[in-house]
Structure 1
C-alpha cells in the first residue's frame, strides 16, 4: 500500500513539472485595467481582442505586438460598438464543452462510488488487508520467522512428560539424517490434548523456538467463512506456503472447530466444514507427500474429532498436557515469578501446595493478581500477604465490603461456617481446615476452606463419607442453635454437592454394599450447545428404588454423624462463633486453639508468616479427581438470591 502511494506521488510530481515547463514557454499577458483598455481602444492602440464572456476576460494584442489581459465588467453594451468603430478585430470565444470521458465519469460516478464501497466492506469482512478483494481463498496463517519465535523449553514448566514427547521433533528438525539413516520418518502430526490453560500453545511455540524453523500459526475457525469452498482453498494455500518454507511447523489452535466428526448429526450438517476437513486429510496424508512439514494441533475436545484425522500418518502421536502436580506448579510459579520483585518470605513450594487443580494460566493469573495487590498498596516487593490475598480472591471471589449484614445474619453465618469447620476437623481422612471467614465474597456469605495435604488422584469411601458429613455441618449447626423452623436456604449449595457425591458413590463408583460394583449411571459427553449430562442405565423399578434408598442411607448416616459431633462439641461451636464475630476471619492456628479449647490468639499478620507454616497458607479449589469436581470450599448462602 505504501509503495503504491509513493509511486503515484512521483508520477504526479513529474506531470506537474512537465506541465509547468510547457506553460513556461508562453509569454505572460500583462494585466490592464478595463478603463485603460477602453482608452487604448478609442486611441487606436489595440489591434486584436478575444472576448470570453463565460470567463469574463478580454485578451488581445496591441499594435506594437504587446499582449494584454483585462477583466470585463458584467454589463458594457457600448464595448462592441467602440471596438468596431476603431477597426479592432473582434473574436468570440465559445464556451468550453466537457469531454466525452468527463461526461461519462460524472454520470457513472455514483455507481463507481457504490462499487468501491462494496469492495471495501468485502475486504474488511474477509480480512483481506492488502491481499485484494478477491483473495478469499488465500491462507490466513501468520508466518513467524526463525528469529521471531523467542520461546524456548526454559519458558515451559510443569509438563515434563509432554516436553519429552516433543523434544524428538526438535532433534529431527535440527538433524533429520540421524533418524533417516535408521529408516525413521518424521512424525507428520502431533495433537496436543489437555484442559484449557495448561500450556499447549506455549509448548508448540517452544518447539519452533528450539528448532529455529519457520512457524505458521492459525486458528481452526479461520478456515471456514461465508463462501463455499473457501476453507478447502485456504488449506491448500497454507500447505503450498509451508512446502516453500520447509522444514517448518504449522500450528492449528482449536482444531475441533474444523475437525469435528463428519455426519455426527449434532447441530445439523455443515458441508463447507466437511469439505475443509476432507482437504486437510488429503494434504496431511494423500498422494502427494509433505516432506519436512510438521502439523501441531491443540484441542481440549479430542472426543469430537474425526477418527480419520487421528489415525497414524496424520496425527501420529497424541501428547497429553494435563494439570500440573505440586512439583509442576512450583516450577510454573518460578517461571512467572522471574519478572516480579519478591519479598524474602515468599516460598513457591508453599503456594504450590495450596493451589491444587490450578492450571498454568491460573498460576500466571495468581502471580499477576499478587503483583496488582502489591501495587495498590504502594509496596516495592510482593510478599506472601499479597499471594494469600490473590489466592483468596481467585478461589472465593472478591470481598464484598459494601454489603451490609445485620448482626443476626452475621451470627447465623458464623454458626454455619463453624459447623463446617468443626465437623471437617473431627471426621477421619478429611482435608485439614485452612481458613474460615464470614466476610461475603462473590456469591457467598461465608466460606470454609480446606487445604489438602497432597494432590489426590483417587478417593476412599471413608474420605467421601467424611466430605458428606462436613457438607451438612453448616445446616446442622443452624438447626441446633435456631431450631428446624429457622433453618435458612444458605445450605442449598452444600446439599446439592452432597447429594451428587452420594449418587455417584452408589451409581458410578460401586461403593454401595447392596448394589455392588456395577454401573447404574452413564455419563454423557458434552452435547451441542450444552454441558455434559447423565442418564440412568436400563434398570428395573426395584433397582431404581434400591438406588434411591442407598443414596438416602449414605446421606442420613453422615448427617446423623455430623449432628452428633456438633452436639458433643457445643462449647467449641459457640467459641468459634465468637471468634468469627470478633475477627471475621480465622486461620488454621486459631482453629487449632479453639479445637484444643484454648484462648484464641489474635491473627498473625501475613507478613510475619514463615514459609514453613504450610497449614496457614494456600487454599484448596478442589482436585483433579472426579470425586471433587466441585471445589473444596464450603459456600454458605451462595444460592439464596438465585433460588428466591
Structure 2
C-alpha cells in the first residue's frame, strides 16, 4: 500500500505532459552539444589545444592582404585561419557572394583547403534522432497505459484506478427523509461490526443489497453512510467503468475488484448504475454484440457466489431501472434484498431541508415547513439545490442571511424555470395571459379534488411559458380517484374557457393544456377502466419503466373501438368545457378582480386568490350553491353524452342487421 502511494505521489507519474517536455528538451540539448556551435566560436582546433579567436570578415581580409596568415580552411558556413606564427587561430563567418577570396589567397601565396563541419557520428545521430524520439514516446505512453490498466494483454484488467477506495465519514444522521431505507440497512452495519454474533447463531446476512430509487433520492449517500457507520473500507465504482472495447477486460476488472475487497475485509463494494452491466441477457443481440457486457455480468454473478455467507463483504448496488436487470442478479444469494429509496414525504422533506441548511445563514423568519409544502414530489438532491440557489440569490443581493422570499424564488425556479424579466410582451398578450391564468386558478379553487393554487404569475418563465399557475398538492399522491382526474381536466380547460368568455376569441396559449387533458381522458379509457367505452377492458398494455421512466405501449383493440374512444374523448372534453364555461360566467366578477390584481402586481399568491373568491361568494351569497348547481349540470351533460353513445350503438347494430 505504501509503494502504491509513493507511485501516486510521484511528480513524473502525476504530470505526464511535463515529463514528456523535459524528456524532449534533454534530447535536443544533447544533440546540440554533440553537433556543436555552427558559428565556430570557442571551437578547438584539430590537433591543437589553443582556442580560436572569432574575428569579423573585414579583419580576416586584412590579415590576408598583410600576409599574416599561413593556412586557411574553408567550410560551408565559416572559415578557420592559422597565423604565420603558428600560434594564432582565427574563425570568421563566410560572407555569401565573395567570389574573389580564392584569388586573393593564391595571390598572397597562402595555402587553403576545404573541410566538412560534420563527422560520421553526428550524421548518423541526425538520422537516428527521429527514430529515438518516436521509440521514447511509444515507451513512455505504453508504460503509462500498463500502470493504469494493470496486468494482462497490454496490462488491461486492473481496477485500481477505477475504484475509489476510502473510509467515508458520512453517518446515518447525514441521511434524512429515507427512514425506512435506513432501517433496512441497519443490520448490515451491525453485521460488519460484529460478524461473529451472526455466524454463531447461524444467521445468513444478505450478500447483496440493491438500492432502488429515482435519481437524486440519496442512494449513493446511503451507501456511504453504511460504510461510515460500520467504519470499514468502501470500494465505489461505476457500472460503466467495467466495460471496454476489448472482450474480457470487464471480467478481469470484476475479479480484481473482489480481490481487493477480500484483502481489506470487512468491507463494502458499491456499484453505482449497475444496470450498465446488469441488463437482462435475454435482450442481447443475436450477433454477439454484447459479449463483453455479458461476460462481465457472468463474472459478477460468479464472484457473488464465490465467497461464503460468513465472509464480511457486503455488495451494495444502486439503480433507477430495476426492471431491466437480469433475473440472475436478483435471485436469493446474490442481491437478495431490494431497498426502495423513495422520494421523501412532508416530514422527510423538512428533515432534508434541515440537513442542508446547516452552514447556511438563515433569517429568523424562515419557515422550512412552508418550503416543504411547496416541494411535494421533489427528491433530496432537488431540495439541496433549492437551498443552494436561495443562498446564491441572497449573496447576489448582498444580504447577510437567506430570507423566506429567496427560498420561494428558488422553489419557483425549480418548478417553473428561470424568470424571463427581459422578455417584454405587448399589453394585448398580457391581457390574454392574465385571463388565461386566472381561469386556471379559479377552477383549481372551486373544483372538488383539484390541487390548490400556490401562486399565479404573468411573468414569463422557462422556454416558452408567458405565465403560469403553480398548483402544488399538499402531499405526495400515489393514486388518483376518478373525480380528481376530472377535476384536473377542468383546471386544464379553465384557461382556454376564460379566453373565450372574457376575450371573445381563443388563442394558441392553451395548446399544451388541451394535450394534457386529452391524455388524461385517454388513459381513463385505455388503462384505468373508467368509462363505458371499453368497460373494464385494458386497451393498451404499457410497459412503464420504474420510477417515472419511459413508456412503451402496444395497441390491442379494433378500429371500431378506436372510433368509439375518439368519440368519447371528444364528447367528454366538450361536456367538461361547457361546465367550465358556466363556472366562469358565475364567477365573472371574481375573475375581473383577479386580473386587475395580476396587472398591478404581476404575481399573486394562492392566499390572495382564495381571498378574492371568498369575498365574491360572500357578496353574492353563493357560498356553495354555485358548485352544487354546476355539478348537477355536469352530471346532466354526462348523462346526455352517455345516452347519445347508447343511441348510436343501437343505430349501428340495426344497420348491421
TM-score by length of 2: 0.74
- Return the alpha-carbon distance in structure 2 between the equivalents of residues 572 and 113 of structure 1: 84
Q: What is the CA-CA distance between 1:536 and the residue it aligns to?
A: 2.4
Match of 1:487 in 2: 506
- Return the alpha-carbon distance in structure 2 between the equivalents of residues 127 and 324 of structure 1: 46
SS in 1 for 2:129: helix
Match of 1:565 in 2: 583
- Aligned ranges 1:207-226 → 2 under 5 Å: 207-226=226-245
Match of 1:411 in 2: 431
Match of 1:546 in 2: 564
Q: What is the CA-CA distance between 1:568 and the residue it aligns to?
A: 1.2
- Aligned ranges 1:463-478 → 2 under 5 Å: 463-478=484-499
Q: What is the CA-CA distance between 1:97 and the residue it aligns to?
A: 5.6
Match of 1:577 in 2: 595
Match of 1:449 in 2: 470
- Return the alpha-carbon distance in structure 1 between the equivalents of residues 53 and 571 of structure 2: 117
SS in 2 for 1:497: helix
Match of 1:176 in 2: 195
C-alpha change, 1:482 and 1:32, in structure 2 (3 Å) is: closer
Match of 1:291 in 2: 311
Aligned 8 A contact 2:439 2:498 in 1: yes
Aligned 8 A contact 1:57 1:70 in 2: no
Aligned equivalent of 1:340, options 357, 360, 379:
360
C-alpha change, 1:156 and 1:514, in structure 2 (3 Å) is: same
Match of 1:586 in 2: 604
- Return the alpha-carbon distance in structure 2 between the equivalents of residues 506 and 310 of structure 1: 35
1:239 aligns with 2:258: yes
C-alpha change, 1:540 and 1:29, in structure 2 (3 Å) is: closer
SS in 1 for 2:358: helix
Q: What is the CA-CA distance between 1:94 and the residue it aligns to?
A: 12
- Return the alpha-carbon distance in structure 2 between the equivalents of residues 220 and 360 of structure 1: 23
SS in 2 for 1:227: coil
- Return the alpha-carbon distance in structure 2 between the equivalents of residues 579 and 95 of structure 1: 94
Q: What is the CA-CA distance between 1:575 and the residue it aligns to?
A: 1.8
- Return the alpha-carbon distance in structure 1 between the equivalents of residues 448 and 53 of structure 2: 115
1:317 aligns with 2:337: yes
SS in 2 for 1:187: coil
- Return the alpha-carbon distance in structure 2 between the equivalents of residues 358 and 32 of structure 1: 85
- Return the alpha-carbon distance in structure 1 between the equivalents of residues 469 and 285 of structure 2: 41
Match of 1:110 in 2: 130
- Aligned ranges 1:257-272 → 2 under 5 Å: 257-265=276-284, 269-272=289-292
- Return the alpha-carbon distance in structure 2 between the equivalents of residues 479 and 251 of structure 1: 58
C-alpha change, 1:307 and 1:217, in structure 2 (3 Å) is: same
Aligned 8 A contact 1:436 1:447 in 2: yes
- Aligned ranges 1:299-448 → 2 under 5 Å: 299-442=319-462, 443-448=464-469
C-alpha change, 1:119 and 1:525, in structure 2 (3 Å) is: farther
- Return the alpha-carbon distance in structure 2 between the equivalents of residues 508 and 33 of structure 1: 101
Mark the runs of 5 or more structure 2 residues left unpaired by the alignment: 1-9, 14-18, 27-47, 55-71, 93-100, 618-657
Q: What is the CA-CA distance between 1:545 and the residue it aligns to?
A: 3.2
Match of 2:543 in 1: 524
Identify the range of structure 1 (575-584 vs 362-371) with the bigger mean alpha-carbon deviation.
Answer: 575-584
C-alpha change, 1:245 and 1:542, in structure 2 (3 Å) is: same
C-alpha change, 1:96 and 1:387, in structure 2 (3 Å) is: closer
Q: What is the CA-CA distance between 1:597 and the residue it aligns to?
A: 3.7
Q: Larger % of helix: which? A: 2
C-alpha change, 1:502 and 1:180, in structure 2 (3 Å) is: same
TM-score by length of 1: 0.75
Aligned 8 A contact 1:194 1:200 in 2: yes
Q: What is the CA-CA distance between 1:432 and the residue it aligns to?
A: 1.7
Q: What is the CA-CA distance between 1:291 and the residue it aligns to?
A: 2.7
Mark the runs of 5 or more structure 1 residues left unpaired by the alignment: 13-27, 35-50, 60-67, 83-92, 600-644
Aligned equivalent of 2:271, options 247, 252, 256:
252
Match of 1:48 in 2: none
Match of 2:166 in 1: 145
Aligned 8 A contact 1:57 1:69 in 2: no
C-alpha change, 1:391 and 1:143, in structure 2 (3 Å) is: closer
